[in-house]
Every structure is written in C-alpha cells, then in structure tokens.
Amino acid sequence: MDLFSRRPRPPYIRAAEARDSEHLARIHAAAFHRGWGIDEFERLLSERAARGHLLCAAPKTPPIGFVLSHVVAPEAEILSLAVLPSARGKGYGALLLDHHLRRLVCEGVAVSHLEVEESNQPALRLYRALGYVESGRRKGYY
C-alpha cells in the first residue's frame, strides 16, 4: 500500500516577485471591492522593503492567495492578505500568514501591524487567532 499517494499534498508557498503582479492583481480584485492594479503590485514588489509570498495548490500552478508586507526591521506592516473566494475556509490564509511571519522573524522583524476594515469579520477572526490585538481606529478611513 502506498501511503503517500493517498495523502493530500500541502499547498506550496513561494516568494512573490514583480513578475507575479498580474496574479496578485487578479486575486486582490476577486477578494476586495477595490482591487489594486497590476502597476501597483509591480511598484510595490520592486521596492527593497517589500516582502511577499504566494500560496499555490501545487508547484507550477497559479496562486490562490498572497500576503504582502513592507519591512523596516524590526517592524513590518502587512499591506494585504488575500485568498481567492473559491479557496476560502480551508485555513489557507492562516497558513500563508504564519509562513510569511516566520520568514519575517528570520529577517529581524519583531513587531508587525496591519489595518483591516471593521466589516471584514473573517479577517478579524484570523488576525485575532494569530495573536493580533486592536491598537486603534481611524475614523472614516475605509
């Protein structure tokens, strides 16, 4: 009996690069009301302080999620985390963010922060589960 052929393969996570901008824009547009464009992702991913990761179902398949941060150690700002609606509810967001944060720690990041719409309850649950706490609110920001 081949035990390994029956086990589901874990998702594949790799570093995001500027050449991935089209994929990131596609995922972002599917995940948010106001998606960022390809040009915005190309600009962000070309910055020295940008760090990003893509989540794919398997190597050499289109990404189904991504996370992007701006890093100035010892701090990082999570700029965006998105998973395609068709892939939600499977723990991919938590897996992706956990992987990303572990990589950032290896680069000297000790603190990370982010902003999230208060109506985005799934994101708020995820961030709370990973230990994030609310530190403030911006009136009329979103």
Report, as residue numbers or ranges, the catalytic residues: 115, 127
Nearest to 93 by CA among 117, 127, 62, 51: 127
Neighbouring CB atoms inside 10 A of 111's CB total 10
Helix runs in 20-134, H state only = 21-31, 38-46, 92-106, 121-129
* SS3 label, residue 69: strand
Residue count of the chain, please give it.
Answer: 142
